[in-house]
Amino acid sequence: MTLLTSSIIVSTNELFKFILLILTLYTARFYFRYFTRKNKVPGPLPFPFFGTMPYSYIVGQYRFLNYCYEKYGTLFEIYVGDDLNTNREIYICKPELLEKIFSSSTKSNFLLRSPNNEGMNEFGFGKSGMVVNSDLSSWRRNRMLSVPLLMNAGFLKTQVHVIQELFQEMENYWKLLNDKNDEKIILDFTSWMHRFALDVVITSSLGRSSYALKSFYNTFTQSDGTIEKNENTSSIEYDSSDLLIRQVKSFFKALRFVKHPSWLRHTFLIYYNNFYLNEIKSLNNSIENFIKLRREEILLEIKNGKNVQEDRRDIMSLFLLKYSTIKNQDYVDRKMTKRHTEENFEVVTDEVIRSNLIEIFIGGNETRPIPSAKKSMYT
């Protein structure tokens, strides 16, 4: 029995020494590759397995990036994993350096801004949209679909009116707050502008309001828990807007989360991995439901003889009118069908429209925390 116990202790010690040796060799190899890497850019020293992510965990992502900017200047690098090739991120904080990278030339060396990433592919980001799309053919196609719509003269004119109306709405809230307070109030202009931007982008993209300004105004006036809302707006609309805002917040967090190494996401962070996967699926379903409802509305308006080209100027409607709705609809007027057919457009799936819509209306907002509409409205 004593001999058996001694053998177990020796085996355990040998196993510990072996693991320690492997870790030492791996660490030595990691730092050798790091210090001998090509195209060196200043930045914080990464850790094996985790890269520079521990810094973000300790002080937060924004403080960490601000620290890097102050210490290393307008060009620095960080690592979101232990792969020194695919997990490397270079941050450029000088406009002059961005001109070449953001060139619209097809001969540019920077057509793809994000390397192929296992996490991006798992969450469905890797081959959709444009910003993190690593599939060049898919990227080109999405760009050809989106750019003409964003440059559409009717859309641009409509956005001028949308911006004016929403800014006037925000000014009215300021006047109401001033009238309800005997003393002068101090406005957090940055917070108001975040809500204003959210309303503008979602209204422009989906043709519906997120009620971000309204919900933020109610945080100042509805301290007793009552609900103040427009007569023409139902509770269902507020609830769906709150859900959309929550999904947008999760989308931003998921974009950062997928950069974690695969082994870490599927072991210690498996709960968060599944949570964000479900949130992304929920966002995709919400946008696809909006698309289906809008298609039904447009087809009904066309059947009733309305000029949908003049009435519908949001991105989602333009996508449907140009690439999806008109074709193969037997009950649409033949002249209208012929006019659209002459434009030689192609029919795209709802999934393609959804991925481009999500990227457009999310790309128009800063990646700052957005308060929940329901929390602002009902508490």
Q: What is the pLDDT of residues 121-140, one digit of tens each?
A: 888 888 888 878 888 888 88
240 in the same domain as 324: yes
199 in the same domain as 61: no
Number of domains the chain contains: 2
100 in the same domain as 222: no
99 in the same domain as 234: no
Is 9 a domain residue? Answer: no
- What gap in Å lies between CA 44 and CA 51, rounded to an integer? 9
356 in the same domain as 255: yes
- What gap in Å lies between CA 283 and CA 250, rounded to an integer? 9
Structure confidence at residue 368 as a pLDDT band (50, 70, 90): very low
Above pLDDT 70, what percent of the chain? 79
- Got the DSSP string for 66-114? HHHHHHH-SEEEEESSS-TTTSEEEEE--HHHHHHHT---TT-TTS--S
What are the backbone dihedrals phi and psi of residue 51, each rounded to the nearest 5 degrees, phi first?
Answer: 65, -135
- Asked if the model's pLDDT at residue 349 lies above 70, the reply is yes
Last residue of a domain, one of 110, 143, 176: 110
- What gap in Å lies between CA 53 and CA 156, rounded to an integer? 41
103 in the same domain as 172: no
What are the backbone dihedrals phi and psi of residue 200, each rounded to the nearest 5 degrees, phi first?
Answer: -60, -50
- Asked if the model's pLDDT at residue 145 lies above 50, the reply is yes
* Per-residue confidence (pLDDT) for residue 6, from 0 to 100: 53
Domain with 48, as residue range(s), is 36-110
Is 2 a domain residue? Answer: no
pTM of structure: 0.75
Structure confidence at residue 146 as a pLDDT band (50, 70, 90): confident
106 in the same domain as 196: no
- Asked if the model's pLDDT at residue 181 lies above 90, the reply is no
188 in the same domain as 89: no
Calculate mean pLDDT across residues 238-258: 79
217 touches 173 (CB < 8 A): yes
* Per-residue confidence (pLDDT) for residue 329, from 0 to 100: 42
Is 292 a domain residue? Answer: yes
Calculate mean pLDDT across residues 233-260: 75
Last residue of a domain, one of 51, 78, 110: 110
CA atoms within 13 A on the CB side of 221: 19
Helix (H) or strand (E) holding 302: helix 270-303
Which residue type does 234 have? S
324 touches 295 (CB < 8 A): yes
Q: Which residues contact 264 (CB under 8 A, 6 or more apart)?
A: 49, 50
Is 11 a domain residue? Answer: no
Find the largest Cα–Cα distance for the chain.
96
Last residue of a domain, one of 55, 84, 110: 110
| Segment among 26-30, 50-54, 356-360 with least mean pLDDT | 356-360
370 in the same domain as 260: yes
* Per-residue confidence (pLDDT) for residue 272, from 0 to 100: 92
**pLDDT tens-place string over residues 297-345:** 888 887 887 777 666 778 888 888 887 644 434 333 343 344 444 444 4
Is 335 a domain residue? Answer: yes
Residue 168 or 136, more confident: 168
Residue 289 or 103, more confident: 289
185 in the same domain as 313: yes
**pLDDT tens-place string over residues 48-68:** 988 998 998 889 888 999 999
Mean model confidence pLDDT for the chain: 78
- Asked if the model's pLDDT at residue 189 lies above 80, the reply is yes
CA dihedral 280, 284, 290, 293 (to 10 degrees): -140
* Per-residue confidence (pLDDT) for residue 234, from 0 to 100: 53
* Per-residue confidence (pLDDT) for residue 347, from 0 to 100: 64
Is 275 a domain residue? Answer: yes
Is 360 a domain residue? Answer: yes
Is 148 a domain residue? Answer: no
352 in the same domain as 217: yes
* Structure tokens, 301: 């308006």
Residues in the chain: 379
- Asked if the model's pLDDT at residue 292 lies above 80, the reply is yes
* Structure tokens, 372: 């929940």
What are the angstrom distances between the C-alpha of 208 and each of 33, 63, 198, 283, 338? 51, 34, 11, 16, 30
- What gap in Å lies between CA 196 and CA 217, rounded to an integer? 11
168 in the same domain as 102: no
